[in-house]
Structure 1
């Protein structure tokens, strides 16, 4: 196939970003979109000149559609993903993949049975700043990694309504600490609380690995200024990365070095990877198993915060 026929389920703020990027990708042909809001669909149809549906089940009957991205509220991901898989379509599910571990396991099992490609939208893996940091760590540029800390804070986003700050924000960094280190955490301790919202709106999380490093995550919806920052401390230096500007700063005994960088849209890189996976020319950077483990780590984080105790991380990835 020259181009992958693709559709989007959920045309809210993030879904519209998917539509925009997919319409621009050389390897993709944007075929259709689905949403429960008819006014949103009217605007989508007018802008992209594609078929639109209020019922995604009807859309999935279209044989031209080979791949689907799911951008609906988190609590709906499991059911929609299973329907997409049953229709034989390849899929990318936005994070969190599901609300529960059991739901995520079922999706992976069904995708394997139906032989469809499954990816999860852990977009920060595609951030050029993260890629640079990972490369420097792998090359030993700052020695043995001792500490990885992240700050992901901002005001309450109105678009979020069915999950708290752990599953919406901290999940990025729970996933990235596995990705950057290439190691699995062995223990989680978390303190969360809610000042203004139904779900937890602030969280502080400590991740312990077998030896080094230690991971520290701060996430909240109560900080006036939006900050997205990663700091990696090693035995021979430190790297600080800004997720928003994609700039990195390297500090060691010789001074401070700030490499020249060029901004690239992480979502474009993510959706390019998805299309190329469907075409069979790339491997996924964020797999269904990565999505499952992220959901599992979120569950343990919330369990630790509820019990006030550290929680051992079992090897779910080996099960």
Structure 2
């Protein structure tokens, strides 16, 4: 079988990583890249084109869209009109109208449209989801995330909510297998830019799980932590190191009063799981390839990307209006909107 010809549009930080993985992936050929900056184009051992039209003319089956968010819609629609499958970096688009047009175009043309929410492909989170789904934690009570670090110079067109918090919105709903129903947020602007650089928000999922998220570009240390707490204990996933640790609720009370008073709930076993740590971007590209060639599930669909963006916009609105905002079913794909229109089952 001939290799799948894949192009990469944009050779910024993420685009360069995409090009590297495409080149190394079985069953895939890096057919070319679109880049107008000579210094970036010079580093790639592949045909370089100055426009998406030139890339399409050269012949590609699929493409990665790694341009600034404001260019996602125009780039993706050009690919869809040409019958080219696409993996679009997150967030899917700058606003919901753009996201809807993108999702509709790929659906209408029978194409695979994926969104690059890479955290779903982190081995620690994939293993965590399997364990939660298997009932190892019992009922899930809360999901909390911390995503913070220094300011990334590469981001100029969106704030921390759409650039970073969309990771946490997507992975939280995916881990719980339940959509967000409401959010309440606070933001700040400390770096002199027009967009927010810090957000703290709480959420409520459709099944009653409560969530908490701290996201910023202002911390001197880099942190990527997800904590899932339930009736049997808590899982802690570190997606920087790919580690997953389980803290079990204890069954034996601590007899040392001073320690017991300090620590509270009795402690059980603590287990750090040995995981096979493959690169998440490679796993993401394998899922994209297999969706195109074999129709396999596993990608983050454009409808899911649209849903995540709708929650992100609700977070921004909550911060502006200083109140809890319910996620409007009318903004979401029809299947999810129908679910939210009904009564959520409390947990």
- After TM superposition, the score normalised by the length of structure 2 is 0.88
Tell me the equivalent position of 2:175.
Answer: 180
What is the CA-CA distance between 1:317 and the residue it aligns to? 2.9
Q: Give me the CA root mean square deviation.
A: 1.2
Once the two structures are superposed, the pairs formed by residues 3-14 of structure 1 within 5 Å of their partners are: 3-14=3-14
* Deviation for aligned residue 1:210: 3.6
Unaligned runs of 5+ in 1: none
Once residues 281 and 152 of structure 1 are traced to their aligned partners in structure 2, the CA distance between those partners, rounded to angstroms, is 33
Q: Does 1:201 align with 2:197?
A: yes
Whether 1:291 aligns to 2:287 is no
- Quote the Cα distance in structure 2 between the aligned partners of 1:7 and 1:19: 8
Matches within 5 A, 1:225-264: 225-252=221-248, 253=250, 254-264=268-278
Task: State how far apart, in whole Å, the 1-side matches of 2:304 and 2:89 are.
Answer: 12
Q: How does 1:141-180 map to 2 (within 5 A)?
A: 141-180=136-175
Paired residues of 1:119 and 1:286 also in contact (CA < 8 A) = yes
Secondary structure at the aligned position of 2:41 is classed as helix
* 1:119 counterpart = 2:114: yes
Distance 1:285 1:34 in 2: 24
SS at structure 2 position matched to 1:171: helix
Alignment length (residue pairs):
314
- Give the equivalent residue in structure 1 for 2:34: 34
> Is residue 2:218 matched to residue 1:222?
yes
Shift of residue 70 of structure 1?
A: 0.4
Is the deviation greater in 306-315 or in 152-161?
Answer: 306-315
Q: Give the C-alpha shift of residue 211 in structure 1.
A: 4.5
Alpha-carbon distance, 1:267 to partner: 0.2
Match 1:282 to one of 282, 296, 305: 296
Q: Is the 8 A contact 2:173 2:205 kept in 1?
A: no
Q: Per the alignment, in what secondary structure is the counterpart of residue 76 of structure 2?
A: helix
Q: Is the 8 A contact 1:35 1:53 kept in 2?
A: yes
CA deviation string 1:118-175 (max 9, x = no partner): 0000100000111111111111111111110000000100111111100111110001
Whether the aligned pair in 2 keeps the contact of 1:120 and 1:288 (CA below 8 Å) is yes
Q: Is the 8 A contact 2:291 2:299 kept in 1?
A: no
Q: Could you tell me whether the CA contact under 8 Å between 2:236 and 2:245 is conserved in 1? A: yes
2:314 maps to which of 297, 300, 304: 300
Partners of 2:242 and 2:178 lie apart in 1 by 24
Consecutive unaligned residues in structure 2, runs of 5 or more: 251-267, 338-347
The residue aligned with 1:77 is: 72
Does the aligned pair in 1 maintain the 2:178–2:207 contact within 8 Å?
no
Query: Among 123, 128, 146, which residue is 2:123 paired with?
Result: 128
| 1:281 Cα deviation from its structure 2 partner | 4.7
1:5 touches 1:29 (CA, 8 Å); kept in 2? yes
Identify the residue that residue 98 of structure 1 maps to in structure 2.
93
Q: Distance in 2 between matches of 1:258 and 1:295?
A: 33
